[in-house]
Amino acid sequence: MTKNVNTLLLETEPFEPEGGGISGFSIEYLILNYNELAELPFEDISSCLKEFIMNEFIIQSADENIYSVTRKGKIARIIHLAEKKKLQPALKEQYNHNPEDLILALLASNKIDEWSQSSFTATGIGIYLHQHTTESINDAITILSSKNLMATEAPFRNDRFRITALGLQHYLSTVRQTLGLDSNTGILTPVAEEYTNDKFMNLPNLNDHIKENLNSRWSETEKCALSEAWLASVIMLGSLLEGVLLAVLEAAGKKALNATSAPKNRTSGNVKSIDTWTLQDYIKVAIELKLIPSSIEKHIHELRDTRNLVHPNKQLRENIIADESLYRISREVTETVIDALQQQ
């Protein structure tokens, strides 16, 4: 299964505006710390890094083993997250807001959504707020500091800024509402990746009731993932896969019923009603009808199997750990199926 290496790299810690505390990284570091990258060929990762060097997203050390992310590379991460709709609207469309408000929101983020970054450098702020000029950001920092709404971490770290008690009160009473953030959402709170009804509208011949159900299931999946409930996320993705295939095959009608792999009643020999088929049946018929590519059949059956983790005995017996890596793989399988179906 093809994975977007560029996307995976941009979402690693070294590309965070403050670098995640990592000044440099190697391919070995990426493989050892990110399971999705560990599953990819070494050559694919190396090729992507070469492309990033050409785009000036990273620079290579003299010994060619260590890479460092440039300001341009870190901004590329922010743009990427905006394109994937993972950024809060206030940060995605920051040009609509005063840099003073945005800076206070950044500094308050660790108080609101438990963001690990307790303070920010001017450089980091500038990367987050790349739609504003360096001059306007520096002016905003000067104004906020003069009003005692933010301060440096003197005497030890004069290059880092934190929010003051007065600044937090001002943020909670005024800025939060101005930026359209609710009490539980900080400006750095990731936005769930959601399929909208428009996405499901492209699936062939489905009524609105079915589309609403599919969209609701996707939203439930996102909520589970955002809470790091990986087991629930994987089970929901399996549920969504079954719902999508059932709906599309029912819409296909006689074409699905006449498929060679359509399950038959042992006694009568007649094809069973589609709504009584198993997920395995749905997958076989969908592949036979070329609704989804046969190249991903193995991965779809793996998702079908992980969906059965809803049964505790299966998970205990097979010692399967439902973690973020399993969720990401399962999600990619589901997205691949949906993308294939909407092209019919």
pLDDT at 113: 65
* Whether residue 120 sits in one domain with residue 69: no
> What is the dihedral sign for C-alpha 132, 137, 139, 141?
positive
Fill in the amino acid letter for 275.
D
pLDDT at 1: 39
Q: Domain range holding 20?
A: 5-78
Q: Which of 111, 106, 128, 122 is nearest to 157 (CA)?
A: 122
pLDDT at 187: 92
* Average pLDDT value over all residues in the chain: 86
pLDDT at 164: 94
- What CATH number is associated with residue 105? 1.10.10.10
Residues near 10 by beta carbon (within 8 Å), at least 6 away in sequence: 76, 77, 80
Q: Which of 35, 59, 78 finishes a domain? A: 78
Q: Residue 138: pLDDT above 80?
A: yes
| Least confident residue range of 8-22, 95-109, 186-200, 325-339 | 186-200
In a domain, 184, yes or no: no
Average pLDDT over residues 12-20: 87
Q: Which of 19, 53, 78 finishes a domain? A: 78
- Categorize the per-residue pLDDT at 2 as very low, low, confident or very high, splitting at 50, 70 and 90: very low
* Whether residue 91 sits in one domain with residue 74: no
- Categorize the per-residue pLDDT at 197 as very low, low, confident or very high, splitting at 50, 70 and 90: very low
Q: Which of 26, 58, 78 finishes a domain? A: 78
Pair 9, 112: CB distance under 8 Å? no
Exposure class string for 226-260: b at 16+ Cβ within 10 A, else e = eeebbbbbbbbbbbbbbbbbbbbbbbbeeebbebe
Q: What's the DSSP call for residue 34?
A: -
Q: What are the DSSP E strand ranges found in the chain?
A: 58-60, 67-69, 120-121, 150-153, 157-163
* Whether residue 225 sits in one domain with residue 271: yes
In a domain, 190, yes or no: no
| Least confident residue range of 37-41, 289-293, 318-322 | 318-322
pLDDT at 22: 76
